Amino acid sequence: MATCESITNYMWLTNKIRSRETPFWRAIYSTAKRIRSFNMPVIKPFHVFLRVERSFRKMFWEGCKSFIYYEPIFKTMCVKCGRGLSLSSGIPQVMGPLQIYVGDYVSLHGVGTFIAGKVYPNPTLHIGDHSHLGYQMGINVGTKIVIGKHVLI
């Protein structure tokens, strides 16, 4: 934990450097500016390799999270879920007693929200085969919503 004396010393030192009153403090200030403005040189083959490696690592990790974690949890919220479900960036939030039917090869991107209205009994959401629901979309269901096949939202 910093003591009052060390804080006072730090403030005194930074004030001296910022004021640049003497050649010594001007030299310290200019050296610090040069150090802070240093950029790592780009070594093209090495940094391209690092960029590609990072891209594959992120893609692999996101794919594993989706396959092992997100998709099975979302399937437990559905009455029926077809083959080839693709979730990216998380599990859609389901609010209320909503009955969800998902067709084959449906993609849900970003964390969306499905909300069941409380006015009607048994609100139902049907998402057709090969449909794609985009980033952060929200669907409020009264009685029934049917999203057809090959729909892009």
With CA atoms as reference, report the closest residue to 77 among 60, 53, 102.
Answer: 102
Residue 77 shares a structural domain with residue 10: no
Do the beta carbons of residue 150 and residue 128 sit within 8 Å? yes
Helix or strand holding residue 123 (H, E): none
Where do we find the tokens 């692999």? 60
Residue 117: the pLDDT is: 86
Total count of residues recorded for the chain: 153
Residue 153 lies in a domain: no
Residue 53 shares a structural domain with residue 101: yes
Residue 95 shares a structural domain with residue 115: yes
Number of domains, the chain: 2
Residue 58 shares a structural domain with residue 17: no
Residue 1: the pLDDT is: 53
Residue 152 lies in a domain: no
Residue 145: the pLDDT is: 96
Residue 83 shares a structural domain with residue 21: no
Flag residues of the chain having pLDDT under 50: none
Host domain of residue 28: 4-36
What string of DSSP letters covers 40-84? PPP-HHHHHHHHHHHHHHHHHHHHHHIIIIIHHHHHHT-SEE-TT
Residue 19 shares a structural domain with residue 48: no
Residue 19 shares a structural domain with residue 85: no
Q: What is the pTM of this model?
A: 0.67
Residue 2: the pLDDT is: 60
Q: Are strands 80-81 and 99-102 parallel, antiparallel or unpaired?
A: parallel
